[in-house]
Amino acid sequence: MINDYILKSADNALILGHRNSEWTGFGPIMEEDIAFASMAQDKIGHAQSLYTILKDNFNTADADTLAFKRAEKEFKCCHLVEMPNGEYDFSLMRQFLFDHAERLRYETLQQSSYEPLAKFARKIKGELKYHILHADTWLVKLGNGTEESHARMQSVLNDSFDIALGIFEPSANEQALMDEKVFIGEKALQEMWLHEISPIIERANLKLPAIKNATAGYGGRNGYHTEHLAPLLAEMCEVLNSDVNATW
């Protein structure tokens, strides 16, 4: 049960790290090239650490095998992280929505009864603080910028909100993990997330879509993905697949 939860978090980090890395050399300004490259490194590092927890405690394959040698169906990432970068507005909004959820997840996991996960959560809190600062700063700046920047940020928030709710897709074994005090549960995290992001969105002069009208983008955390994940995995594994028996 715990291993499935850790795998979902690791896959989210790996796939978003790859997406963020795609901005290298293509950011709207050099500062954002550097910022997204740095955050990509952090995410992939988080994934490696979580895969290592799985290997050390659940006798799974090593981090490289889990990252590069699994079929699409075996990945448990949410739909939001696998979506193409699109324009900068989408990537920034994705970072804002995802990293606030990620910060809250790991903040609560610092008190997890599963010590390897709690230790990891305490280790990365500083990195997540930086990610949040980056997202909040640009969201507020663009939301209160020009007429075009405001309109684009509102439009991408409208389009992203339902997909972002898939971050909190529940699992069949969730209640058991809650009973064991491994984590607080996806519903509680979603409520905390909505409470946290709402005033920031308001400061950005944007309007949060009504959750009562939303259709959550579920499926990814249970292995059912969009058409975008398979091409991403093919690109991510291209070097390895050129010679699967090579040693590095």
Please give the average pLDDT of every successive group of 10 residues along the chain, which has 248 residues. 96 97 82 88 97 97 95 97 95 97 97 97 95 96 97 98 97 94 97 98 97 93 96 89 69
Q: pTM (2 decimals)? A: 0.95
Cβ–Cβ < 8 Å for 52, 69 = no
Supply the pLDDT for residue 30.
Answer: 75
Supply the pLDDT for residue 95.
Answer: 97
Supply the pLDDT for residue 166.
Answer: 98
Supply the pLDDT for residue 244.
Answer: 67
Supply the pLDDT for residue 248.
Answer: 61
- H helix intervals, 22-143: 30-58, 63-68, 79-82, 88-109, 115-143
The C-alpha atoms of residue 170 and residue 189 are separated, in whole angstroms, by: 11
Supply the pLDDT for residue 15.
Answer: 98
Cβ–Cβ < 8 Å for 98, 16 = yes
Domain boundaries in the chain? 2-242
User: In degrees, to the nearest 5, what angle opens at C-alpha 96 toward C-alphas 13 and 224?
Assistant: 45
The CATH number of domain 2-242, selected from 1.10.150.80, 2.40.240.10, 2.40.110.10, 1.20.1260.10: 1.20.1260.10
Supply the pLDDT for residue 26.
Answer: 80
The C-alpha atoms of residue 227 and residue 206 are separated, in whole angstroms, by: 30
The C-alpha atoms of residue 109 and residue 49 are separated, in whole angstroms, by: 15
Supply the pLDDT for residue 31.
Answer: 80
